[in-house]
A and B are shown apart, each in its own frame.
Chain A
Amino acid sequence: MAESNNTSYKRMGLVIFGILAILTLMEFGLAVYLNIWVLLTLLAILKAGLVMYYYMHIYRLFTPDSDTDRHSYAYKLVTSRLGLWLFMLSDAFIFGGLLISRFNLMGFTRPELSQPLGLAVTSILLVSSFFANRAETSMANGDRKQFTISTVITMVLGILFILGVLGVEWQLAPFKAADGVQGAVFYSMTGFHVFHVLTGVIFLGIVLRNAMRGHYSEEKHWAVEAAAVYWHFIDVVWIFFYPALYLIGTLR
């Protein structure tokens, strides 16, 4: 029983990752050959939906309580989940505002950015989301070793993403923050996003440290779940930012 359970969650993670990877490549191909913003937006919504359902377990918000005692761990867990989702909903409005500003200011033109680099950082974040999910499901299935490995990989990929954006992309971009509206849009969008990635890495670090000290168990690991869900939220944001910054529209 434990064995079959073990493989099934791992297989599920791989399948979802495969679908997301294919969709991302489709998105890129679509942008190159058939740049229709409606299709790109629909693809982004599809990807975000998949991440929210399979990685962020949005359905868990709507499952009835297993324990009605207010002071039990199970009851508080559901309350905490609700709190985290409310926070993310609120945060989503900042990113929504940035997206609206981007289209208001630049219309259907996009900044001059390095396409391979954009695809690279997107892939890094996508892979990191796979490992964040692997870490969480491993913890839920009691596989400590796998959890540690996956969390470390997620954090490394997160740091790579930050370095990729701040260290490479920001330096290579042919415009600076004060150079016209594309600079304003590009640096503010990536800046806000990278700040969230940074907080996510810190959160994962705290969780990893506490897990190594044995603070979590198969049943009680809300912090692990929260860190993973928050990480996927950052991924969802990037799922919308990537086409908005790199794909939609003609070069400015």
Chain B
Amino acid sequence: MKKFFSLGLIRGLLWQAVGTGIGVGIVTLIRVLMGLPAWKAEPATVFGALLGVFFFLAGVGAFTDWFRMAKGEEVEEMPDESHLGAMRYFGVSLDHKVIGIQYMVFSIVLMSVGGMFALIFRTELAETGMQFLSLIEYNTLMSLHGIVMIVSILVGIAAIMNYTVPLLIGASDMAFPRLNAFSFWVGVPSGLVILSSLFLGGFDTGWTGYPPLSVRAPLGMQMFFLGVALVGFTSILGSINIIATIIRLRSKGMTPFRMPIFIWAAIATSIISLTATQLIGLSFEMVMFQRLFGMGFFDPVKGGNPILFQHLFWFYSHPAVYVFVLPGLGIISELLPVFARKPLFGYKWVAMSSLGIALVGFLVWGHHMFTSGMAEYLRVPFMYSTLLVAIPTGVKFFSWVATLWRGKITFPVPMLFVLASIVVFLMGGLTGPPNATISTDLHLQDTYYIVGHFHDTLFGGFMFPFFAAVYYWFPKMTGRRLNEKLGKLHFWLVTPSFFVLSLWMMRIGLLGMRRRIADYDPALQFQTYHQVMTFSGYFIALGVLVFIINLIWSAKKGEPAIGNIWNSRSPEWQVPSPMPMHNYDRQFEVVGEPYDYGLPGSTYVKFEGE
């Protein structure tokens, strides 16, 4: 029992509960002292939740080293945590590999929660009329499905980048290990704050939280805003770390165009999440202030402008899509040459295309607002800038196809997911331009076509590459490989069902099914479609369940895989798995091109003393 309470996570959760209570108490006390009615739910809960997050961080120990530094005490540069064993996964660890795995587990947990929400409201949709959910419950589940999945994706890309970036560039850890741990741990209590909205009245705006509806929504809205604003710090602080690590800690000889291609994707992603994330935080804080203090940002009666919220919100939330997909596309480019046994076609173009997508991504947010009442003259420029994104994305597709061309392709599970993600992302990409073109978007706005489109981009751009990355790097984490049979079962359960789901979403969208609605007219005859889509949803969930079982089973009893099982040229595979505490025992120097597969006698890295 004592051991149980010594776990950082448990301590953090207890402290969070205490902190929330104290916060609620403070607000109530102040109200009593000011002579106001003692209980007002909104300020008390918001302040309580905010204080709870800080208490969690203090309880888990994310501040400990910083407090010691502020007191002028020395802190250990790279503490040896090996005596803690598996315990270090449940508390603050400064090792980027541990943090990467913590991120991964957290992401999968959130993914399961968000997926469960989807299953619940999909079951409701299988029949017309309302069966077992009330309208607000449906709205809350639908909105939470959106935001929980988004947070899960942000955490998932952080998992991949945290685990692989220092390994790929030959660093012993991140540039700022304490900041790295903080970035992870701030996400956990914030995630709980978001989920707490389920029990505080829910909210009915969808994940976008547009005012004026969000100003009038139940209390759960505030938890959503607060949680997302705080979880943003995971992205912001994480990307500071990624950029600084890549700029400062590359191995000798690793010039920019000899970096693994995934590093370019990581840097492009981090540029977006470093800067743009602040604006979603700001826009959400502004709505919170409007609700708490009556500030009239988005209240037309007071001279405010609801469209301003959409500008601030989409200035992050569109580039965020590229935050979600760029690391995934980087993984596709990273893994394809390994399994096609061929050099990556057009390395420099692929590297630049990541940066290109990131930069163009900053200029396209208005295409979400074609029907919102935004100034008319802004529509056409935003249409063209949006269509421009197709060019760097196309570069990537040509590179992938050319890399596969006449390769000696093998089909282990990671490669299956890579190939699936190329196809799915192509579908997502090709269904995009009709949404960017004003004339067609006016019809497609707010239909299931949009839902199908973005599920395609996110599955192709994140989910499948994430699965591929986990199957690929799992031996590096544990020294055992994931079971191939279960992996193939996972793949064949998820992929066909996903095709059915997303293609049918687009089909009924074109036929007139509105998105975000809890019920639909039986005369539309969508019932069969919805039933099949619900079944497909269950198959996907089953596949993910197989994946989770595989992770747990293989970590303990999987087939040992110490060596370079994928026959990769990448430095992390040249040393035995699992990776030792502070990564490479011997430093390496980059002496060749990263992806010259099939060229006899060429090597990418040379280790000291070889």
The CA of A83 and the CA of B248, in the complex, are separated in Å by 10
Whether the Cβ atoms of A82 and B247 lie closer than 8 Å is: yes
- Give the segment of B297-305, B350-358, B423-431, B505-513 that binds chain A: B297-305
Chain B contact residues: helix, strand, loop or mixed: helix
User: Which residues of chain A are within 8 angstroms of B294 by Cβ–Cβ distance?
Assistant: 177-178
Residue from the set A87, A90, A215 with the largest chain B CB neighbour count within 10 Å = A90
Whether the Cβ atoms of B244 and A86 lie closer than 8 Å is: yes
B323 at the interface (CB under 8 A from A): no
Q: Who on chain A is nearest to B289 by CB? A: A188
Q: Which of A62-96 contact B (CB under 8 A)?
A: 70-71, 75, 78-79, 82-83, 86-87, 89-91, 93-94
- The smallest C-beta distance from A82 to any residue of chain B, in angstroms, reads 5
User: Which residues of chain B are within 8 angstroms of A98 by Cβ–Cβ distance?
Assistant: 282
User: Which residues of chain B are within 8 angstroms of A215 by Cβ–Cβ distance?
Assistant: 72
Q: Who on chain A is nearest to B308 by CB? A: A104
Beyond A79-B244, A101-B286, whether A184 also contacts B297 by CB under 8 A is yes
Whether the Cβ atoms of B175 and A83 lie closer than 8 Å is: yes
Beyond A180-B302, A188-B295, whether A90 also contacts B175 by CB under 8 A is no
Whether the Cβ atoms of A79 and B175 lie closer than 8 Å is: yes
Whether the Cβ atoms of A181 and B297 lie closer than 8 Å is: yes
- The smallest C-beta distance from B537 to any residue of chain A, in angstroms, reads 37
User: Which residues of chain A are within 8 angstroms of B283 by Cβ–Cβ distance?
Assistant: 97
Whether the Cβ atoms of B70 and A83 lie closer than 8 Å is: no
Whether the Cβ atoms of A97 and B279 lie closer than 8 Å is: yes
Q: Which of B255-286 contact A (CB under 8 A)?
A: 274-279, 281-283, 286
Among B275, B282, B295, contact of A183 (Cβ-Cβ < 8 Å): B295
User: Which residues of chain B are within 8 angstroms of A78 by Cβ–Cβ distance?
Assistant: 248
B535 at the interface (CB under 8 A from A): no
Q: Which of A176-190 contact B (CB under 8 A)?
A: 177-184, 187-188
Whether the Cβ atoms of A89 and B312 lie closer than 8 Å is: no
Q: Who on chain B is nearest to A83 by CB? A: B244
A210 at the interface (CB under 8 A from B): yes
- The smallest C-beta distance from A113 to any residue of chain B, in angstroms, reads 17
Whether the Cβ atoms of A97 and B312 lie closer than 8 Å is: yes
Among A97, A104, A209, contact of B305 (Cβ-Cβ < 8 Å): A104
B335 at the interface (CB under 8 A from A): no
B296 at the interface (CB under 8 A from A): yes
Whether the Cβ atoms of B304 and A90 lie closer than 8 Å is: no
Q: Which of B134-177 contact A (CB under 8 A)?
A: 175-176
A105 at the interface (CB under 8 A from B): yes
User: Which residues of chain A are within 8 angstroms of B308 by Cβ–Cβ distance?
Assistant: 101, 104-105
Among B236, B244, B278, contact of A97 (Cβ-Cβ < 8 Å): B278
Whether the Cβ atoms of B295 and A90 lie closer than 8 Å is: no
Beyond A83-B176, A97-B282, A181-B303, whether A89 also contacts B247 by CB under 8 A is no
Beyond A178-B294, A184-B295, whether A86 also contacts B274 by CB under 8 A is yes
The CA of A104 and the CA of B311, in the complex, are separated in Å by 10
B377 at the interface (CB under 8 A from A): no
The CA of A206 and the CA of B297, in the complex, are separated in Å by 37
The CA of A79 and the CA of B281, in the complex, are separated in Å by 27
Among B241, B247, B296, contact of A180 (Cβ-Cβ < 8 Å): B296
Beyond A93-B278, A210-B72, whether A70 also contacts B296 by CB under 8 A is no
User: Which residues of chain A are within 8 angstroms of B175 by Cβ–Cβ distance?
Assistant: 79, 82-83
Chain A contact residues: helix, strand, loop or mixed: helix
Q: Who on chain B is nearest to A78 by CB? A: B248
The CA of A184 and the CA of B286, in the complex, are separated in Å by 9
Q: Which of A193-225 contact B (CB under 8 A)?
A: 206, 209-210, 213, 215
Beyond A82-B244, A86-B243, A86-B274, whether A94 also contacts B281 by CB under 8 A is yes
Q: Which of B228-247 contact A (CB under 8 A)?
A: 236, 239-241, 243-244, 247
User: Which residues of chain B are within 8 angstroms of A70 by Cβ–Cβ distance?
Assistant: 249
Q: Who on chain A is nearest to B176 by CB? A: A83
Among A82, A105, A213, contact of B303 (Cβ-Cβ < 8 Å): A105
Residue from the set B77, B241, B244, B281 with the largest chain A CB neighbour count within 10 Å = B244
Q: Which of B302-318 contact A (CB under 8 A)?
A: 302-305, 308, 311-312, 315
The CA of A215 and the CA of B311, in the complex, are separated in Å by 47
- The smallest C-beta distance from B313 to any residue of chain A, in angstroms, reads 11
User: What's the tally of chain B residues with a CB closer than 8 Å to chain A?
Assistant: 41
User: Which residues of chain A are within 8 angstroms of B293 by Cβ–Cβ distance?
Assistant: 177-178, 187
Q: Contact size class for A?
A: 35 or more
Beyond A82-B244, A101-B286, A188-B295, whether A89 also contacts B304 by CB under 8 A is no
The CA of A213 and the CA of B74, in the complex, are separated in Å by 14
The CA of A98 and the CA of B312, in the complex, are separated in Å by 10
User: Which residues of chain B are within 8 angstroms of A184 by Cβ–Cβ distance?
Assistant: 289-290, 295-297, 302, 304
User: Which residues of chain B are within 8 angstroms of A177 by Cβ–Cβ distance?
Assistant: 289, 293-295
- The smallest C-beta distance from A56 to any residue of chain B, in angstroms, reads 17
Q: Who on chain A is nearest to B243 by CB? A: A86
The CA of A215 and the CA of B71, in the complex, are separated in Å by 10
User: Which residues of chain A are within 8 angstroms of B315 by Cβ–Cβ distance?
Assistant: 97
The CA of A181 and the CA of B277, in the complex, are separated in Å by 25
- The smallest C-beta distance from A176 to any residue of chain B, in angstroms, reads 9
Beyond A177-B295, A178-B293, A184-B289, whether A105 also contacts B305 by CB under 8 A is yes
Beyond A188-B295, A210-B72, A213-B72, whether A181 also contacts B275 by CB under 8 A is no
Q: Who on chain A is nearest to B290 by CB? A: A184
Whether the Cβ atoms of B236 and A90 lie closer than 8 Å is: yes
User: Which residues of chain A are within 8 angstroms of B274 by Cβ–Cβ distance?
Assistant: 86, 89-90
The CA of A213 and the CA of B282, in the complex, are separated in Å by 39
Beyond A97-B278, A178-B296, whether A105 also contacts B304 by CB under 8 A is yes
Residue from the set A82, A97, A100, A215 with the largest chain B CB neighbour count within 10 Å = A97
Q: Who on chain B is nearest to A213 by CB? A: B72
User: Which residues of chain A are within 8 angstroms of B244 by Cβ–Cβ distance?
Assistant: 79, 82-83, 86
User: Which residues of chain B are within 8 angstroms of A83 by Cβ–Cβ distance?
Assistant: 175-176, 179, 240-241, 244
Q: Who on chain A is nearest to B278 by CB? A: A93
User: Which residues of chain A are within 8 angstroms of B311 by Cβ–Cβ distance?
Assistant: 100, 104
Whether the Cβ atoms of B302 and A101 lie closer than 8 Å is: no
The CA of A94 and the CA of B315, in the complex, are separated in Å by 12
Residue from the set B244, B295, B304 with the largest chain A CB neighbour count within 10 Å = B295
The CA of A100 and the CA of B311, in the complex, are separated in Å by 10
User: Which residues of chain B are within 8 angstroms of A97 by Cβ–Cβ distance?
Assistant: 278-279, 282-283, 312, 315
- The smallest C-beta distance from A193 to any residue of chain B, in angstroms, reads 13
Q: Who on chain B is nearest to A94 by CB? A: B278
- The smallest C-beta distance from A237 to any residue of chain B, in angstroms, reads 13
User: Which residues of chain B are within 8 angstroms of A93 by Cβ–Cβ distance?
Assistant: 275-276, 278-279
The CA of A183 and the CA of B293, in the complex, are separated in Å by 11
Whether the Cβ atoms of A105 and B248 lie closer than 8 Å is: no
Beyond A93-B278, A180-B296, A181-B297, whether A101 also contacts B248 by CB under 8 A is no
- The smallest C-beta distance from A98 to any residue of chain B, in angstroms, reads 7
Whether the Cβ atoms of A91 and B278 lie closer than 8 Å is: yes
Beyond A79-B248, A105-B304, A215-B72, whether A89 also contacts B275 by CB under 8 A is yes
Interchain residue pairs A-B with the least CB separation, the first 7? A178-B294, A184-B295, A181-B303, A93-B278, A210-B72, A97-B282, A79-B248
Can you add 8 more A-B contacts, CB < 8 Å, to A105-B305, A180-B303? A79-B175, A87-B240, A97-B282, A104-B305, A178-B293, A184-B295, A184-B302, A215-B72
18 A-B contacts (beta carbon < 8 Å): A71-B77, A79-B249, A83-B179, A86-B244, A97-B278, A97-B279, A104-B305, A104-B311, A177-B289, A179-B302, A180-B296, A180-B303, A181-B297, A181-B304, A184-B296, A187-B295, A188-B297, A213-B72
